[in-house]
Structure 1
């Protein structure tokens, strides 16, 4: 018996991809062909929640890339509402999602432009989350990887989580669009994994000091502090 289709807020509409297909690639292709903003593609590999959201920002890419952390906050809020209270969700600056300290999935970003001052035609935010372990070593010889069921979240329905991710992301997108950038900044900072630790990003290693007003990573090495923009995370079209 097939599951009912997920229900999304107004202006959002879902499309389930064929079994084994990549929802991120499907959303990117649909955006390139001129689909309406608000498309949510979902489906993909067994034991995983895979989804993507198509957006059409009206600000330059350097600002619009903030939709990646906005979607991260939306995910944390969504899982926080559905999982036991002891489950901790944190976000890496580059998009990885950590549950109780271990990586469990991540967020991806694509646009039709890489120019920071250009207004993109489309942004696509992708989400991947391991519901079940994806390898025998996950949680054993690879303790830095986990799955939702291994962290006490076996009762969380993936489609309910997808609905909640879109709903909470929409709320934060609305706040960001209304000019509440500081609220988004503060919320994301509180969820960031690795602050004050040594990290490597975009070929540089140093201390992760925090983020600036445009959500760029501030990375301090032996010589100076580097500002790494979110646009560094954009994936190449394939």
Structure 2
């Protein structure tokens, strides 16, 4: 398989078999690898990858790498897929293609303290390419990339594009702040205005605050659920 080519300052590390890029990236980050490591595992049925970051801001702001990478994925797929393919983003990192769940993003950090500056952050991508079952009707709310009219999208090209578009998002965030990220994410957000349950609270998803915290309206009370709540330990 052709190895992906990444922008300068990014370095690829290919895995094979069942190896999990997210776990491997976290392991390398703990040992002190440089930011920009892209661990990837492109298989016949799935694309899995993870990027190591070192944002020089407190965790409460650095956690915005999750929606930033999500918008980067939408931009990447939008550049390669047919124009009728719709991508939407769940607040917690879920990806939806044409309305159905199709993979997700996840995030981990060196610290859980919102006020501390993390030594590293890892954002991982899991994207199913082909159904694992011969009967996809058993999971009607889930789909795969190639089942949604994207059979001509090469997984390696998509991985390269995700990293490139994420880099563009990082540069914009660094130079101009989070305003563009907020605008872009809101235009792709799934479920705003609908009733959902999060952290044991059921209410109407009103939107997000300036740090992408979820605003959840329950009766007469609006709860704020920080985005740091989705960090994996």
Same fold (TM over 0.5): yes
Structure 2 runs not aligned, ≥5 long: none
65-74 or 214-223: bigger deviation:
214-223
Q: Distance in 2 between matches of 1:180 and 1:218?
A: 21
Counting only pairs closer than 5 Å after superposition, residues 59-78 of structure 1 correspond to structure 2 as: 59-78=57-76
Q: Distance in 1 between matches of 2:113 and 2:43?
A: 33
Counting only pairs closer than 5 Å after superposition, residues 10-89 of structure 1 correspond to structure 2 as: 10-43=8-41, 46-89=44-87
1:189-230, CA deviations, whole angstroms, 9 ceiling, x for partnerless residues? 110000100011122111000011111110000130011111
Q: Could you say what the CA RMSD is over the residues aligned between the two structures, in angstroms?
A: 1.1
Counting only pairs closer than 5 Å after superposition, residues 61-210 of structure 1 correspond to structure 2 as: 61-138=59-136, 140-210=137-207
For residue 17 of structure 1, report the CA deviation from its aligned partner. 1.3
Query: Is 2:103–2:128's contact at 8 Å kept on the other side of the alignment?
Result: yes
For residue 45 of structure 1, report the CA deviation from its aligned partner. 5.5
For residue 136 of structure 1, report the CA deviation from its aligned partner. 3.8
For residue 137 of structure 1, report the CA deviation from its aligned partner. 4.2
Q: How many residues align?
A: 233
* TM-score, length-scaled by structure 1: 0.95
* TM-score, length-scaled by structure 2: 0.97
Structure 1 runs not aligned, ≥5 long: none
Query: Is 1:41–1:53's contact at 8 Å kept on the other side of the alignment?
Result: yes
Q: Distance in 1 between matches of 2:177 and 2:83?
A: 27
